[in-house]
């Protein structure tokens, strides 16, 4: 038996989410049908608002409601340091630690020859322009994940940035190899930043 079209459409939508296969999508679709109408409306509106009201900061690439983002616009932050991360989620993780008060740059990915992702597919050019324009920046701290792609991206950026006489450091490996910044606890992140090493 085929599902009525509204259900199969909902299942298809859930299946577009990462890590959700047809079984889970079907369960979620039927769960949604059983939800209170108000809750469904709120859910739908928060999906639309998250997409419509958020954009990327034109300076650092972080997710923001206003441009520039709150971090770039905050004059009390230490503008001599820029932490380079893979994803906006990583900014949130580092901010939660409450120990780092510099700026960020979000790459939105890493170099990955397997996935055909080259330097033009991530925010490297905007980082270089930012460093060129902003002489206050004295250190670039590369906080890509401890994966082969994260390491390769760190090396690639270091090669480009170092000739400009800017110190390039990498987070210390309190972070396990293959681990994601996103899932590291605050103490581990703090130690990784404190123990960062020049590359
Ligand atoms: Zn920003």
Span from the CA of 62 to the centroid of ligand 1 (angstroms):
6
Please name the helix (run of DSSP H) or strand (run of DSSP E) that holds residue 142, with its range, or none: strand 139-142
pLDDT for 177 equals 55
Query: Distance between CA atoms of 37 and 41, rounded to whole angstroms?
Result: 6
Span from the CA of 149 to the centroid of ligand 1 (angstroms):
24
Span from the CA of 188 to the centroid of ligand 1 (angstroms):
25
Average pLDDT over residues 116-120: 89
- Residue 137's closest CA among 146, 129, 148? 129
pLDDT, tens digit, 9 for 90 and up, residues 5-62: 999 999 999 999 999 999 999 999 999 999 999 999 999 999 999 889 999 999 999 9
pLDDT-derived band at 115, boundaries 50, 70, 90: confident
Domain locations along the chain? 5-53, 76-177+187-191
Look at the domain 5-53 and name its fold.
Answer: Helicase, Ruva Protein; domain 3 (1.10.8)
pLDDT-derived band at 99, boundaries 50, 70, 90: confident
Question: Under a CB-based contact definition with an 8 Å cutoff, are residues 168 and 157 in contact?
Answer: yes
- CA–CA distances in Å: residue 99 to residues 81, 170, 192, 194: 13, 17, 12, 10
pLDDT for 175 equals 58
Ion ligand 1 neighbours (CB, 5 A) are 57, 59-60, 62, 68-69, 72
- CA–CA distances in Å: residue 32 to residues 12, 13, 40, 194: 13, 12, 7, 46
pLDDT, tens digit, 9 for 90 and up, residues 176-186: 655 676 767 77
Domain 76-177+187-191 -> CATH class: alpha beta
- Residue 167's closest CA among 112, 106, 102? 102
**Please, what is the average pLDDT of the chain?**
90
pLDDT for 24 equals 96
Span from the CA of 92 to the centroid of ligand 1 (angstroms):
13
Question: Under a CB-based contact definition with an 8 Å cutoff, are residues 103 and 95 in contact?
Answer: no
pLDDT for 191 equals 75
């Amino acid at each position: 038996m085929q599902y009525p079209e509204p259900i199969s459409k909902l299942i298809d939508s859930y299946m577009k989410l990462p890590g959700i296969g047809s079984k889970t999508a079907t369960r979620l679709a039927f769960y949604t049908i059983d939800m209170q109408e108000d809750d469904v409306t709120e859910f739908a509106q928060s999906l639309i608002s998250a997409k419509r009201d958020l954009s990327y900061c034109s300076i650092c690439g972080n997710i923001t409601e206003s441009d520039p983002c709150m971090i770039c616009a905050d004059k009390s932050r230490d503008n001599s340091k820029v932490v380079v991360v893979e994803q906006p989620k990583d900014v949130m993780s580092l901010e939660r630690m409450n120990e780092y008060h510099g700026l960020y740059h979000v790459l939105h990915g890493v170099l990955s020859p397997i996935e055909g992702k080259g330097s033009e597919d991530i925010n490297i050019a905007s980082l270089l322009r930012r460093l060129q324009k902003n002489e206050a920046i004295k250190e670039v701290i590369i906080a890509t994940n401890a994966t082969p792609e994260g390491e390769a991206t760190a090396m690639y950026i270091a090669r480009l940035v170092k000739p400009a006489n800017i110190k390039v450091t990498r987070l210390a490996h309190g972070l396990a190899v293959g681990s994601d910044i996103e899932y590291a606890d605050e103490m581990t992140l703090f130690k990784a930043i404190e123990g960062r090493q020049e590359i």
